[in-house]
Structures are given as structure tokens and as C-alpha cells.
Amino acid sequence: MIPETIEGYGVRLRPTRSTDVPDLVAGCTDPQTRRYLPALPDPYDADSARWWIAEGEPAVWAAGGCAYAVADPETDRLVGGVGLTRLAVARADFEIGYWVVPWARGRGVATAATRLLGERAFATGAARLELLTHRENEPSQRTALACGYRHEGVRRAAGAARDGVRHDLVAWVRLADDPPGPTARLLPDLPSGRLSDGVVTLRRLEPADADALHRLHTLPEVVANRVPPVPPDRESIARRCRLAAGYWLAGDAADLAILETATGALVGGCALGYDEPATGQATLGYSLLPEARGRGLAARAVRLVAGWAFGVGVARLWAGTRVQNVASQRVLERAGFQREGLLRGRVPGAAGERTDSVVFGRLASDRD
């Protein structure tokens, strides 16, 4: 049995008490807490908190899991909650979950509590811990990585919002014999969050970029190079912007906005997809708004992305263009890529026909 109180990593895990009711109510009425914990009572009041202490928490223990208040060890004030739900007795499989009060966020509370409870769970017989996060919950995904959990995939429609609309959850898993420490990321954060050569600046795509990106990707000449060549609706672009952080943290793709450094205006987009992590190969795509073309900005952006990618372990970058897209081919050549050949019928055309693609590649060992 896990002891009643556990301390370590700057937090205390203990049973929830009646004195925690005001902080429990304040934490569980916070909009962010409620968004990612839709099963909380609505409204959440003092009676809800007292029910959790008297009935909810003991029921978790009775079902073979555990539930703790996370407290500041110096003051014993509640700063969140953490617990385990038993998924399968025969497999020693548990789901771990946590939440943090608004005034304690950004201090590593979730990471400390998750690490502490995870270590105790493995020490008392757990074989596998699963952590499920909302696809837009970047802080929670960073907690998973910091605690050594590995991205295992997406559980389609595994979650449900308060309005009943179902949504995907990202699965992160840690095994009892996984190595200690944080999970190494295939795509680390950009240094200081940006790349710049003084003329163009690249940063991660953000939700506020949706309108500009939608305008870009509905231009006829940009649509012609999409796969398939169909204009996206605004919601699909908005979703891409909202999920950019999650794809980056999972190591799938680095989706970037291209800005003009002098004005800060978004002038295009550039995306790196890690299509073959086992061989160190990634693919690159880019596009610019009409007012930014013809000034060498795309080549600058591609050079910046390539330099960063090679610095974080990518060994080979490749890009494909339509045969007719001579302007894009010139961008790649100016960015140090070499033409490698033609892939016949590689991508679908607008009417269902197959379209050839010219392939360019650059190696980490290539000189500028």
C-alpha cells in the first residue's frame, strides 16, 4: 500500500482535508482546469469539494487506485491534485492524472508530483503508467516529457467536452524499466523560441496565425502544390495552428510562421516533417504570400530551418516540387539543396491524375 504522505522533489502528497476546501473550489472553478477536466461537477462549490474529500477520494482508493492532494511542503497549502486509476489488474497498468491551481502553475508542481507518484507506483508493483492529455494542452504534454513518458499515439475521440463533443487524447506512456530522466525530444524547442538572420524570423505557428495562414493556403498557386490540391477550410487551418505545439512535442513536425523581421508581419509558412526518424530524414515545405515573393525570403527561411534541423540531429532533408514550379526549385538551390531526380506520379492531381515530383535533397555534411 502506498503510504498516506509522500514527500520529494519539492512537493508533498497527502490526503485532502477539510481545510483544503477553499483552495479546492478555487482550483476547480478555474476555466483552464475545467476545460481539461470536463468531468468535474458543474458548478463546483464547497459541497462538491466536501463530497470529494468524504466520498470521491476514498472511492478511488477502494477501486485500487490512489488520489492525493499536492501540497507545498513548507506551508502545507494545497497546490493541486494527483492520482492513479487502475486500468487492468492483470497487467499492472494504471492511468496517472494531475491538476494544478492557477497560482502555482509554472513552478514545476505537476512535474514534481507526477514524478514522485510514478516512482512510488513502480516501487509498489506497477508495470506501466499511461498519461492522457488533451491535444491542445501543451503544459501537460511538456510535463509528460519531463517525467520520462514517451509519445505512444493518439486515442481517437477518447475524451468528451462538457457539451458532449468528443475529441482526441494524446497517449504518453512510461514503463517500469524505462531509463530515468526526461524523454529526449526529436524536435527540441527553437533557441529562445525563434530563428532569425536579421531579415526573416521563424517561430512556431500559433492560434492567432489562422487568418493569415488560411489566406496563404487558399491562393490558387499554393493550392496547386498542396496534397491533395484542394483549398482548406478555415477551421482545418485553425486546428493546424492550435495543434502545432503538440505535433512539435511529439516529434512529428515543426510548423513555423515566417515573419519579416523589420515589421513582424507574417509573410509565409514553413514546415519540417520528421518522416523517417530511424534514418534521420525529414522533409521540408514552404510558401509565401504574394507581397513577400521575389526578395529571397523563402531561401533565407529554408536555410534557417535547415541549419537548425541539422543542429538537432537531422541527417538529411528533402523537398519535392511540381515539375512546373521553377520558382520553388530555385529557392531550394539557393538554400544549398541539390536536385536528385524525378519521382513519377508521386502526388495526386486535382482531377485524380498522378503528378510527377522533382526531388531535392541536402545532407548535414553538405557545405553551404
Q: Are residues 42 and 115 in the same domain?
A: yes
Flag whether 184 is in a domain.
Answer: no
Q: Are residues 30 and 129 in the same domain?
A: yes
Q: Say whether pLDDT at 153 is over 80.
A: yes
Query: What average pLDDT does this structure show over 230-256?
Result: 96
Q: Are residues 243 and 307 in the same domain?
A: yes
Q: Are residues 46 and 80 in the same domain?
A: yes
Mean pLDDT of the chain: 95
E strand map for the chain:
6-8, 11-14, 66-71, 78-88, 93-100, 128-134, 150-160, 166-175, 194-196, 200-204, 253-260, 266-276, 281-288, 316-322, 338-348, 354-363
Q: Are residues 282 and 323 in the same domain?
A: yes
What share of the chain has pLDDT > 70, as a percent? 99
User: Which among 41, 9, 252, 249 has a CA at the least distance from the CA of 133?
Assistant: 249
Flag whether 115 is in a domain.
Answer: yes
Tell me how many domains the chain contains. Answer: 2
Show the cell assigned to 37: 477536466
Query: Of 121, 141, 175, which residue sits at a domain end?
Result: 175
Q: Say whether pLDDT at 368 is over 80.
A: no
Q: Say whether pLDDT at 4 is over 90.
A: no
Largest Cα span, the chain = 71
Query: Can you tell me whether residue 136 is helix, strand or coil?
Result: coil
Query: What average pLDDT does this structure show over 307-317?
Result: 97
Between 4 and 45, name the one with better pLDDT.
45
Flag whether 1 is in a domain.
Answer: no
pLDDT value of residue 1: 45
Q: Are residues 155 and 271 in the same domain?
A: no
The CATH number linked to 328 is 3.40.630.30
Q: Are residues 196 and 134 in the same domain?
A: no
Flag whether 278 is in a domain.
Answer: yes
Domain residue limits at 93: 6-175
User: Which among 256, 276, 278, 280 has a CA at the least distance from the CA of 268?
Assistant: 256
pLDDT value of residue 163: 84
Q: Are residues 161 and 197 in the same domain?
A: no
Q: Are residues 128 and 272 in the same domain?
A: no
pLDDT tens, residue by residue, 222-240: 988 888 888 999 999 999 9
Report cis status (omega within 30 of 0) of the bond before 207.
no
Q: Are residues 332 and 295 in the same domain?
A: yes
Flag whether 180 is in a domain.
Answer: no
Q: Say whether pLDDT at 82 is over 60.
A: yes
pLDDT value of residue 88: 86
Query: What average pLDDT does this structure show over 135-144?
Result: 97
Question: What is the spatial distance between Cα 297 and Cα 300, in angstroms, rounded to a whole number?
Answer: 5
Q: Say whether pLDDT at 162 is over 90.
A: no
Flag whether 368 is in a domain.
Answer: no
Flag whether 185 is in a domain.
Answer: no
Q: Say whether pLDDT at 2 is over 60.
A: no
Flag whether 220 is in a domain.
Answer: yes
3-state secondary structure 243-299: HHHHHHHHCCEEEEEEEECCCCCEEEEEEEEEEEHHHCEEEEEEEECHHHCCCCHHH
Q: Are residues 242 and 117 in the same domain?
A: no
pLDDT tens, residue by residue, 194-216: 999 999 999 999 999 999 999 99
pLDDT band at 3 (very low <50, low <70, confident <90, very high): low
pLDDT tens, residue by residue, 40-66: 999 999 999 999 999 999 999 999 999
Query: What average pLDDT does this structure show over 326-331?
Result: 94
Residue 301 parent element (H or E): helix 297-311
pLDDT value of residue 351: 77
Enter the pTM of the model. 0.92
Show the cell assigned to 220: 490558387
pLDDT value of residue 44: 95
User: Which among 94, 87, 71 has a CA at the least distance from the CA of 19?
Assistant: 71
Q: Are residues 86 and 219 in the same domain?
A: no
Residue 61 parent element (H or E): helix 57-62
User: Which among 134, 205, 215 has a CA at the least distance from the CA of 168?
Assistant: 134
Residue 75 CB neighbour total at 10 angstroms? 9
Residue 31 parent element (H or E): helix 31-36
